[in-house]
Structures are given as C-alpha cells and as structure tokens.
Structure 1
Amino acid sequence: MKWIFLACFLISNMLFSQKIYWSENVKLNWSNFKSKVNNQSGTNVVAYTNCGWIYSYVKSSNPKAPVKIEVSTVFNEDKSWKDVKRINDYILLHEQKHFDVAELFSRKLRKEIAENIKTSSDFHRKFKSIYNRILKEYQDFQRKYDSETKNGILEDKQSEYNRIIAEGLENYKSYKSS
C-alpha cells in the first residue's frame, strides 16, 4: 500500500510541479517565483532562481544504432523564491541571467553531444563524463557569477556579466533547442 501512495505522490509532484522552458521571447517575472521557503543563506540574498536542464534520450540495444538526445533548459517555479519586501526590476534581471546561464550551458552540452555522441555505443562510453564535466562548469560559473556580482549588487560587474552571457548565447546560437 505504501508503494502505491509513494507512486501517486511522485506522479502528482511531476504533474503539478511547474516548469518554464527557456525561450528568447519569454522572460521571467516575479510571479514565477512561487516557493515560500528561502533555502539560501546570507543577508544579501533577495531571490533564488532554481534552474538547470533536463534531458531525455532514445537509444537502441544495437551499439551501432543512432541515438537521439534532447536537452531542455528549465526554470522551476515551485523551487524559486523571492523576498517580496526587497524585490525590484534590477534584481529580476540578475535572476533572469541565472536562467540565461543555464541555457548557455545547455547549448554547450548540446554541442558536445552533437560532436561526440552519434551511436548507442558512444552514449554508453561518453555521455556521463561529458554531462558531468559541463555540469561542473555550469555550477562553477553560477557560483562565480553570484560571487563577483555580489548577487547583482555590484552594477559594473553585473553589466560585465550581462555582456559575457549575451555573447555566450550568441556564440552558441546554432545549438539552440529546436
């Protein structure tokens, strides 16, 4: 009986958890930050963006068969938080850039996949290490972004990162999700 309950809980959580898929034409707004829980520490944390990527694949047991891998960038509304007393448009831009960074690294992952994984055999041999390497680079970049901008407080550093992120998205535009 408890397995049935657990299965129902997990399925309902997946169905009702709200995700926004990254698009150039869709920008975050404060109503997207639905979590009531602040899991972050520090007095200068005004908002938290929970984002990253998800992937799916179709492969064969035949090692020479082609493999299809899709990578999508997502923002998790139910895990993203804001301090309603301190939010403003400038901070929203900083949080949007976190989401844009997730898209940038999704594109880097798509590029690595396109260049290195063609078959089911390639997938088994290479995917995990490629994924883990790009994930580490992504996490390091996000930490550095918050650290160097002081969570967006340092406007000159924020402007510099806005440019770096925009250039990165442009440099990898051929790896946008289709």
Structure 2
Amino acid sequence: MRLLRIILLLSLLYCTNTVKAQDIPWIKDKPLKWKDFAGTPDNGPHDATTHSYLRYTFYHHLQDTVHQLSFKVECLFSTQRSWVRPGHEGENLLKHEQLHFDITELFARKLMAAFNAATYTANYREEIQAIFQRINNDRRDMQTKYDTQSNHSHDKGLQAVWEQYVHNKLEQFPRNY
C-alpha cells in the first residue's frame, strides 16, 4: 500500500511538472523561438498560431468587514497549443507571433491594475470573474484586430505600426505583477 502511494505521488508530481513545462511565462528579453511551437498545425489557412493566455489566482482575507484580496497574474504561452506549419518558419512571421504574446502581456498588466483598483464586496468571486471576463474579452478583440489589420503579418507597414503601438503600451503600463 505504501509503495502504491509513493508511485501515485511521483506520478502526480511528474504530471504537474510536465504541464508546467508546456507553458512559457512572458519575459521581456526572452523572445519566442520556433522550437517553442510544438503543437500540431491545423488544416486552416494560417502558417502559425500562438496560444497565449492569462491566468490568475487570488487570496482572500476578511479584516473586520473589509474584503482584502491579493492577486497573482500570469501571461503564458502554451507550447503544445501553438504551432508553425513546416517550411514557414520565417523571421517576420515569428515577430508577428511574438506580438500576439506581447499583447497578452499588456492585458496581464491591465488585469492586475483592474484587480487592484476594484473595491470588493461579499460577492468578490463574481466581481473578480467579471473583471477577468472584461479584460480577457478586450484582449481577444485586440488580437483579432491585430490579425485583421496586419493581414496575419503580410502587410509589413501595418505590422510595423502594431509593433510600435504595442511596445509603446507596454512602456506605459510597467509590469505590475
């Protein structure tokens, strides 16, 4: 029985570490590389897909009648859900995909700012979820607008405009988590 518990614990630890290894956190001076795109290409028309996402956790403490919350926000890149079509691993496309990750980082900062600016009631779970949904919807909208305007990296002029815009926004919203 003891051996079975040890095996189960080791299996759980292995699975947990495996999942974490598939997610790459956003780091300013560590851009994505094509080797990070380990997923299987779909049958769609695009040459690559970046799957980046926001994740948060929170800690709640009730002090007198005041709901005190602290948050952890993460901007992550999924290596298993991101992919590039073989033969299309160009520098311009990689820059385009990196900017998708950068946009998610921008919204991670906005999410933390929104969490910290809010006042919470006894319905804090719903309030937190509503903030997350609003910010995440804004992130998705910007990702779609970016792809549409840059024509998925094919419009070099608008790609450059978007790169400048996002980098300026990242400077305006310093990392706050």
Q: Give the TM-score normalised by structure 2.
A: 0.84
Match of 1:52 in 2: 53
CA contact (8 A) 2:37 2:83 kept: yes
CA distance in structure 2 between the partners assigned to 1:159 and 1:101 by the alignment:
14
Match of 1:112 in 2: 114
Letter in 2 for 1:86: H
Aligned 1:26-65 pairs, distance under 5 A: 26-35=30-39, 37-39=40-42, 41-42=44-45, 45-60=46-61, 64-65=66-67
Match of 2:84 in 1: 82
Decide which structure has the larger Cα Rg and report it: 2
CA contact (8 A) 2:113 2:176 kept: no
Q: How many residues end up aligned between the 2 structures?
A: 165
Q: Secondary structure at the match of 2:77?
A: strand
Q: CA RMSD in A?
A: 2.3
CA contact (8 A) 1:61 1:120 kept: no
Comparing 53-62 with 75-84, greater Cα deviation is found at 53-62
CA distance in structure 1 between the partners assigned to 2:43 and 2:74 by the alignment:
25
Give the drift of 1:123: 2.7
CA deviation string 1:30-70 (max 9, x = no partner) = 000011x223622xx11110101111111136662421111
CA contact (8 A) 1:65 1:120 kept: yes
Match of 1:73 in 2: 75
Gaps of 5+ in 1: 1-7
Over the matched positions of the two proteins, sequence identity in percent amounts to 23
CA contact (8 A) 2:25 2:75 kept: yes
